[in-house]
Amino acid sequence: MRYLPHTEEEIRSMLQAIGVNTIESLFESIPKRDRLAGPLKLPPPLNEIELRQLLREISRKNAHGEEWASFLGGGAYSHYIPSAASHLIQRGEFLTAYTPYQPEVSQGTLQAIFEFQTMAAEILGMEIANASNYDGSTATAEAVLMALRLNERPKVLIGRSIHPEYRAVIETYLNNQRVQIETIPFGPEGTLDRNFLKRNIDDKTACVVAATPNFFGVVDDVTDVAENAHQHGALLITTTSEPLAFGLFRSPGEMGADIAVAEGQSFGNPVSLGGPSLGLFATLKKHARSVPGRLVGETTDQEGKRGFVLTLSTREQHIRRERATSNICTNVSLCALAATITLSLWGKQGFQKLAQTNYQNALELRERIKKIANLSSPFESTHFNEFVIRLPKVTSGVLKKLQKEKILGGVPLDALYPELENSLLICTTEMNSDDDRDRLVRALENL
């Protein structure tokens, strides 16, 4: 990034233009106790060569996939990204996350969003999809708000097996609304407790939020949950952080979901210090006007030429505030474009093959780990590409031992689910080699 400093004279000129004397006066609204009193603790100035060397040295402290075997999942997944995808999103006409305010001028951008919507709808098995949300958690929370708008009921049932951070985002969204949230526990198989659901769903329930695959990697066929919800006039929302699973298992639409959302990071976006992410949001055509965000449609112009238009945009900037469905102002369009290009390069057969590879690798690894003395898998269910393993020792100690062998052994569940003490969530994708999995098994055998 270029650094263009200002001269003292330029700074004085700018301050004079806005009617203040010092830069400090711009921050008077911030209490003094919260302001930095002295200069930042930085090393002395370096020339460009020295600076690059320093940053390279700092970056070597990171554990990265080139040297480490990573079995981390839990909401963010390392998948192969074709080089063409990374190259194409760098083109100048795409290198912005923002759709212009005269959207029909940007036919290429609109077509990319249209193609993304089509793929998202097909993957989730729904009739329509929007132009994406920020991430899987906000997409899930927006789905709950949409169900509350459609049903006007005060109660929401949320599965404890959905991503814990997604649950936290939903609770934040609903914090100041008169909505009763009830949590559905998970049963011994790691799936939704159907008996609890039957006892607690009623005519005040707006929606049931279920995950498949859920946070434990368990594939939970929620067809019966959809039927139960519909019998009581409630909607079923499905969510997942790994929609690649739908290349192998039944989609939410096939299971009867009314709204299906997902995290789309797996499609062409790297695992990079917590982001970037994008949310997939799909539903039935009859709910189109209640969808948050925007939808791009296909049409023809007066000469019969194919074109794309911003069909629905239900945020307050475009319509009256009280009719807005969301205040979301952008849709991480560059991430959605990366997903679109990656999915087009994979193709349908590639998508299914990748899903099969992920499933098979995880299944074999899980069976090998289960044979190790004192290790067990608490959920004997169908998993996709991650699973839970219970350890005989405290997870923090085990993870430290694995790190000495350059292995990131998984996500500890103790803090998120106290009832799963000494348990790890282990994920393996096509990015883990046979050698990686062998190393993990050997390391666990030597605990």
DSSP 232-276: TT-EEEEEES-GGGGGTS--HHHHT-SEEEEE-TTTT---BTTB-
With beta carbons less than 8 A apart as the criterion, state whether 332 and 340 touch.
no
> Cβ–Cβ contacts within 10 Å for residue 12, how many?
13
Buried b / exposed e across 305-343, counting CB within 10 Å, b at 16+? eeebebebbbbeeeeeeeebbbebeebbbbbbbbbbbbb
Distance between CA atoms of residues 239 and 63, nearest Å: 30
Helices 434-445 & 395-403 angle (0-180, nearest 10):
130
- Please report, in tens digits, the pLDDT of each residue of the chain (447 residues total): 456 778 999 999 999 999 999 998 999 999 989 998 888 888 888 999 999 999 999 888 888 777 899 999 999 999 999 999 989 998 887 886 565 556 666 888 889 999 999 999 999 999 999 999 999 999 999 999 999 999 999 999 999 999 999 999 999 999 989 999 999 999 999 999 999 999 999 999 999 999 999 999 999 999 999 999 999 999 999 999 999 999 999 999 999 999 999 999 999 999 987 778 999 999 999 999 999 988 999 999 899 999 999 888 776 566 666 677 776 656 688 899 999 999 999 999 999 999 999 999 999 999 999 999 999 999 989 999 999 999 998 999 999 999 999 999 999 999 999 999 999 999 999 999 999 999 999 999 998
Who contacts 400 (Cβ-Cβ below 8 Å, separation ≥6)?
Answer: none
Distance between CA atoms of residues 33 and 439, nearest Å: 51
Torsion angle, CA of 318/324/326/328, rounded to 10 degrees?
A: 10
The pLDDT value given to residue 316: 57
The pLDDT value given to residue 432: 96
pTM exceeds 0.85? yes
Buried b / exposed e across 181-220, counting CB within 10 Å, b at 16+? eebbebeeebbbbeebbeeebeeebbbbbbbbbbbbbbbb
The pLDDT value given to residue 313: 78
The pLDDT value given to residue 318: 65
